[in-house]
Structure 1
Amino acid sequence: MSKILEVNNLNISFHTFAGEVKAIRGANFHLNKGETLAIVGESGSGKSVTTKAIMRLLPETNSEIKEGEILFDGKDLTKLSDKQMQSIRGKEISMIFQDPMTSLNPTMTVGKQIMEPIIKHQNMSKSAAKQRAIELLKLVGIPMAEERFKQYPHQFSGGMRQRVVIAIALACNPKVLIADEPTTALDVTIQAQILELMKDLQKKIDTSIIFITHDLGVVANVADRVAVMYGGKIIEIGTVDEIFYNPQHPYTWGLISSMPDLDTAEDELYAIPGSPPDLLNPPKGDAFAPRNEYAMKIDLEQEPPMFKVSDTHYAATWLLHPDAPKVEPPAAVMKRKEMYPGYNNK
């Protein structure tokens, strides 16, 4: 598979009154053509900051890309001017934001909002852009598209508004689509419909997707590969099966253990102890060490490198070092491995 996007050693800081917040600390990952990569982690782990950096949407007043590169189609996006980014943003890389109501202009009809990027980036006439906008409304599953085209965002339900936002993002057939928790504000049944819609659209328009979420249940349904983020770093990456059925990092164990299933009693749900690290003063060793019941002395002193588990699976934990003691994952993780016999002997 060829790579369409590469993030190499990305370091991003925010300059605040309290000091320098090192929000992203050497993030590395890539996106292949035609795949869905999910980036998961708790709030504050750096997921949205990373994707906003790809779109160059971070505030210029207090944010700084200190090091690293973001390669898209051979171009380093960190080196492009604002004008050069305008020809990429919305046309070649699009983004679906979390809350559709704040993404849409309440004073404009949804039809005009879908037409806007089509006219700007594809030099279509107004009548051709209108036809394309109606086609997009139909594509994302909005009934009576011709009538709905003339309506305003407040006349749509939450799920329908999110479909409109997806239509705007798809208006120019982008090569990369970034979905930043697109189903968080929706109820469970609408969430399932939007996820199904995104899977269907990916097949139809052959785009590559970065899907940001904190919900591992969502990941299982949409992703090809999963990158787990913690403390501004990618700490484990692999195929969706490798992350779900053979996770290696204790933080990933915690995320999987905290997922409820039909057998989970109300008082049994696991929560990872402690809080995420203070990135004003990043920890010296493994950022997860203070919350890790399996932490060793070296975790507090030295940052672990990425250890190779397979050709597609890597994890940054000292537990993978040949000299590390053998540790059995928690019961919830072992239960998943038993559900997937292919990983029982790994």
Structure 2
Amino acid sequence: MEKILEVKDLELSFNTFAGEVKAIRGVNFDLYKGETLAIVGESGSGKSVTTKSIMRLLPENSAEFKSGEILFDGRDLTKLKDKEMQKIRGKDISMIFQDPMTSLNPTMKIGTQIIEPLLKHQKVGKAEAKRIAVDLLRMVGMPNPEQRMKQYPHQFSGGQRQRIVIAVALACNPKILIADEPTTALDVTIQAQILELMKDLQKKIDTSIIFITHDLGVVANIADRVAVMYGGKIVEIGTVDEIFYNPQHPYTWGLLSSMPSVDTADEKLYAIPGTPPDLLSPPKGDAFALRSDYALQIDLEESPPFFKVSDTHYAATWLLHPDAPQVEPPTMIIERMKSYPGSRYYEGGKVNV
């Protein structure tokens, strides 16, 4: 597959009154053409900061790239000046934000807001831009697009506003679409419609998607690959089936165990104890060690490298070291592993996500 984006050893800090917040600590991942990569984790794990660093939408007075590269079209985005980024942002890389109401200008008609990126990035006149904007609204499922072009954001429902935000993001046929928890503010039925819409549009315009979420149920429906983030690092990455049915990191076990499924019995769902680490002074070893029932002594002393599980699956946990003791994952995780060929618990069959 063609590699469209490479993030290499990215380290980013925020300089605050309290000190240096090490928000991103050595993040590596690739994005391939036409795929959807989901980045999952708790609030504060570094998901949104990672993607906003790709868009260069972080405050310049406090955010600082410490090291690493973000390679797109042969250029390192961390080194570009703001004027150079403006030519990429909205044209080649677009973003759908979490809250559609704050993403749209309440004083401007939505037609004007869709036309704006077309006039800026595409060589089209106003009449052609208006025609494309109407087509975009029709493509995202907006009824009566010609009339609705003349309306303001407050005249639309939450789901309709999110469709408008998607239309704005897709106006210039971007190569990469970053979706930052785009369904969080919506109810469940509208969530399903927006996810289905994004999958359909991805096929039509052949874009690559980075999908940020804390909801693993959403991940199962939309992602090809999944990166699990914790404490400013990626701790596990693999295909969606590998992460759901053969997870290896204790943090991934915790996330999956806390998610209800159709097989969930009446017992209480698991809750990961404790809170995420303070990134003003990150832990010396594995950031998840103090919250994990499976922590080894070395987890408190040394950060684990990535261990290879398969050609597409890697996890940063000392439990995968050849000298580590063999531990039993939680019962719910073992049940998932029973359906995954290659797992030591494999029994055949398939469980429901």
* TM-score band w.r.t. shorter chain: over 0.9
Cα distance change, pair 84–323 in 1 and its aligned pair in 2 (3 A): same
Partner AA of 1:208 in structure 2: S
Give the CA deviation at 1:261: 1.9
Structure-2 residue corresponding to 1:310 = 310
Name the residue aligned to 1:190.
190
SS in 2 for 1:195: helix
> Which residue does 2:170 correspond to in 1?
170
**Aligned twin of 2:217:** 217
Question: Where do residues 168-317 of structure 1 align in structure 2 (5 Å cutoff)?
Answer: 168-264=168-264, 268-317=268-317
In 1, Cα distance between the equivalents of 2:281 and 2:98?
A: 29
Q: Could you tell me how far apart the structure 2 residues matched to 1:301 and 1:317 are?
A: 13
Q: Secondary structure at the match of 1:87?
A: helix
2-structure distance, mates of 1:90, 1:310: 36
In 1: Cα distance, 2:326 partner to 2:73 partner: 42
CA distance in 1, matches of 2:292, 2:177: 34
Q: Which amino acid aligns with 1:247?
A: P
Deviation of 1:303 after TM superposition, in Å, equals: 0.6
Match of 2:31 in 1: 31
CA distance in structure 2 between the partners assigned to 1:261 and 1:345 by the alignment: 20
Match of 1:51 in 2: 51
Counterpart amino acid of residue 318 in structure 2: W
Output aligned runs, 1:9-24, within 5 Å. 9-24=9-24
Q: Distance in 1 between matches of 2:74 and 2:4?
A: 8
The one-letter code matched in structure 2 to 1:122 is: Q
In the alignment, the residues of structure 2 paired with residue 158 and residue 241 of structure 1 have an alpha-carbon distance, to the nearest angstrom, of 32
Distance 2:338 2:235 in 1: 24
Aligned mates of 2:78, 2:263 — CA distance in 1 = 47
Partner Cα separation in structure 1 for residue 324 and residue 338 of structure 2: 24
Rounded to whole Å, the distance in 1 between the matches of 2:328 and 2:35 is 32
How much does 1:162 deviate? Answer: 0.1
> What is the CA–CA distance in structure 1 between the aligned matches of 2:325 and 2:241, rounded to whole Å?
25
Paired residue secondary structure (1:118): helix
Partner of 2:57, secondary structure, is coil
Query: Aligned-pair distance for 1:297?
Result: 0.5
1:78 is matched with 78
Unaligned stretches of 5+ in structure 1? Answer: none
Alignment of 1:10-159 (within 5 A): 10-159=10-159
Instruction: Give the CA deviation at 1:269.
Output: 1.2
Could you tell me how far apart the structure 1 residues matched to 2:118 and 2:195 are? 24
Q: Once the 2 structures are TM-superposed, how far is the Cα of residue 263 of structure 1 from its aligned partner? A: 4.3
Give me the whole-angstrom Cα distance separating, in 2, the residues matched to 1:301 and 1:72: 36
C-alpha separation in 2, matches of 1:312 and 1:263: 28
Alignment partners' CA distance in 2, 1:334 and 1:263: 13
Q: Partners of 2:342 and 2:197 in 1: how far apart?
A: 30
Distance in 2 (alpha carbons) for counterparts of 1:19 and 1:79 = 24
TM-score by length of 2: 0.96
**1: CA distance between counterparts of 2:186 and 2:238?**
28
* CA shift in 2, pair 1:3/1:240, >3 Å: same
Paired residues, number? 346
5+ residue gaps, structure 2: 348-353
The aligned residue for residue 350 of structure 2 is none
Give the CA deviation at 1:335. Answer: 1.7
Cα offset, 1:345, TM superposition: 3.5
Q: Distance in 2 between matches of 1:226 and 1:263?
A: 22
Q: 1:15: Cα distance to partner?
A: 0.7
Aligned: 1:3 with 2:29: no
What do residues 113-142 of structure 1 show as CA deviations (whole Å, max 9, x unaligned)?
000000110021100000000000010011
Counterpart Cα distance in 2 of 1:206 and 1:283? 41
Q: Structure 2 counterpart of 1:318, which letter?
A: W
Alpha-carbon RMSD across the aligned residues, in angstroms, is 1.2
Residues 133-156 of structure 1, C-alpha deviations (whole Å, 9 max, x = no match):
000001001111111111110110
Task: Kindly indicate whether the alpha-carbon contact (under 8 Å) linking 2:48 and 2:180 is maintained by their aligned counterparts in 1.
Answer: yes
Q: Secondary structure at the match of 2:30?
A: strand
SS in 1 for 2:21: strand
Q: Which amino acid aligns with 2:116?
A: E
Query: C-alpha distance in 2, partners of 1:78/1:16?
Result: 21
CA gap 1:189/1:342 in 2 versus in 1, 3 angstroms: farther
| Helix, strand or coil at the partner of 2:310 | coil
Aligned to 2:351: none
